[in-house]
Structure formats: C-alpha cells, structure tokens
Amino acid sequence: QKYIVKNYFYYYLFRFSAALGQEVFYITFLPFTHWNIDPYLSRRLVIIWVLVMYVGQIAKDILKWPRPFSPPVVKLEERMIAEYGMPSTHAMAATAISFTLLISTMDRYQYPFVLGLLMAVVFSTLVCLSRIYTGMHTVLDVLGGILITAVLIVFTYPAWTLIDRLDSASPLFPVCAIVVPFVLCYNYPASDYYSPTRADTTTIMAAGAGVTIGFWINHFFQLVSAPTESLPVLQNIPPLTTDMLVLGLTKFTVGIVLILLVRQLVQNLSLQVLYSWFKVVTRNKEARRRLEIEVPYKFVTYTSVGICATTFVPMLHRFLGLL
C-alpha cells in the first residue's frame, strides 16, 4: 500500500506506541523488571500477561471477526494482517501490564497513586490508539480488548496471592506447568488459513511456563530467597543514580545476550530433531508451520528462554558480581 505521511509526530508516536504491545517490548521490559526492579512484580506481570493473551488469541480465532477493510483504512503492519481483529490483544496486553503493575506496587512502594494511575492510563491509551491509527483494529476491537482484560483482572485478583504460591506447592508442579500449556497450544482452534496466531500463542504460553518453572527451581533449590507477599513498610523508590543505571544496563545486556544464545541454540536443535523425526527437508520453511513441528519447537525454545531468564541469568549475575 502506498501512503503519504502528513503528520510525522502522530506517525512516529503511534508506530512507537504500537511497538509497546509487541514482542520487542515483552522481551525487554519483563526481563528488565525481573533483573533490576523486583522478581515479585515480574512474576505477577508474566502470569497475568499469559492469561490475558491466551484468552485474547483464542477469542480471535473463535469469533473470526475481520480486521478493518482496506480501503478505506491503510494497514501499516503487514505481519498482523493474517490475524483476525476482535479483540485487540495489543489493547489487552497494554491494559493488563500497566494496571497489574499499578495494583501490585501499591502495597510495596511509596509513590503518589494518582501519578501511577496516570502513567497506567497514558501507557494503555497510547497503545490502544496506535491500533486504530495503524489500521489494524476498529474502535470496537479495542474496547472489547479493554473490557475483557478488566473482567479478567477483577475476577482473578482475589487469587493472585494463591497463584504466587503455586510455584512452591508441590514437586510435581513443573510437570503441570509444562503439560497443561502444551496441551492447550497443541489443541489450539484450527483456522481456515495459516496465521501467526497459533505460533504467537505458543510463544507466550511457553515463556510463561518457563518463567513459572524457573521460579519453582529457585524456590526448590533455594537459589534465591522467596519474595514476601507485601513489605512490612512501604519502600521509597530509590533515586536513579549513574551507578545504578550502569549496573542495570550491564545486567540487562548480560541477560539478553545469554537469552538470545539459548534461544538460538535450542531453536536450531529442536528443529533439527523434529525435521529428522518427521523426515522433513531442512530447508523447507513451510514445514515450520505444520502443527506437529511448529508447536513443539516453539514451546521447547521459549520454555528454555523463560527458565534461563529467571534462573540462569541471575546465577550468572551473581557469578559476575552484579548482584
């Protein structure tokens, strides 16, 4: 599609805002929160993010509402065109992350609640508006995503503390954390044509499973002390200093490099095993889209990434003296 940008401020603002609801944001913000801010917060964010995204992705392929027609709109994201429209998972994820972060920090850190609420509203609003600006969703898609997320947060909030404790409930917990998400991904609703929805859902579910198992490993082997439900005294948010910034960026860089290495290694290895098992030509890129190959390799890869981010990266930080 050819189009002319008449307002570069809105164009770059909403293209950037759209990126806040994509993989590049999740793979940076969530690990950064775990390594540099508070593992307690990252665990809650990941759990709610996985739940909300799974519900949203499933709803898309059940409802099968088309995206806005073009023309009249101009669609700025080619990869997402093959997916259905209702609900907007960008809107769901942005709303879930911003307001889960707000709710989870109220009893842990001392800051003006109005300021936190304003930041949550601004963040989620920018992402929601970006979906309309980029031509990927209607207003109804966005409002549907916000409403579904609000309902999920309200109904699951009483169980958040219980969910936090599940990673130490039983030695068999890792089995459930792997089997249940894998079965859900493998039995994902069939689509009339191929879209990246199933692959994206598997990536999200696998990352959540890996993070959950990583927390279980940390607790079971006492690698780190378990975070408390709430601090006895509200902590003041420490001022950002140069030393703190350098340390945080160093930890983040070390962690991301290790994650990318693990991701590439496990992905290549799992694909080779699956190609050999199903006797598929290695260079056949279409084979990756087959159910029996796409789901297992995605699930193994991103489960490994989740475990690495929560267990092995902190161990490497400790070894390098960054903790």
Contact 188, 61 (CB under 8 A): yes
Report CA-CA distances (Å) from 89 to 80, 143, 264: 11, 11, 26
The CA distance from 159 to 137, in Å, is: 32
- 137 in catalytic set: yes
- What phi and psi values does residue 109 have, to the nearest 5 degrees? -130, 145
Q: Determine the Cα–Cα distance for residues 220 and 286; give it in Å rounded to an integer.
A: 41
Question: How many CB atoms neighbour CB 75 within 10 A?
Answer: 16
Residue among 34, 90, 219, 317 flagged as catalytic: 90
Residue 238 dihedral angles phi and psi, to the nearest 5°: -65, 145
Establish whether 34 is a catalytic residue.
no
Angle at 199 between CA 198 and CA 205, to 5 degrees: 85
Do 66 and 45 form a contact (C-beta atoms < 8 A)?
Answer: no
Residues annotated as catalytic are 90, 137
